[in-house]
Amino acid sequence: MDVRNAAQAVDTAQKRVVASRLARESAEQQLAGEQKLYEVGRSTTFLLLQRQNELTAARTNELQAQTDYNKALADLQRATGSTLRVNSVTVENPNKP
């Protein structure tokens, strides 16, 4: 994988993380609103469960986006040969006294 493709993958993955976070926040707000409606008798258990399922899916998507971002970042580090430096890993010369 060349550096340009790896950098583009990081950028795309980062945008997915932001979008999925916003979607999860929206799903949380929708669930909170649906719970309030349910508490006053203006919603059904079906709709409440549907909102809960939507929140679960949004959380799953957010975690997948974060995982994909971390993988893309690792690929970029591999492509640039910076994995050890970025992770503060030093290798000592075993021949040095």
The pLDDT assigned to 86 comes to 79
In the chain, the percentage of residues whose pLDDT exceeds 70 is 97
CATH of the domain spanning 3-75, picked from 1.10.3470, 1.10.287, 1.20.80, 3.40.1350: 1.10.287
Domain boundaries, the chain: 3-75
pTM reported for the whole predicted model: 0.85
On the question of pLDDT at 69 being above 70, the answer is yes
On the question of pLDDT at 33 being above 90, the answer is yes
On the question of pLDDT at 95 being above 90, the answer is no
C-alpha distances out from residue 53 to 14, 24, 26, 31, 94, Å: 25, 12, 13, 9, 56
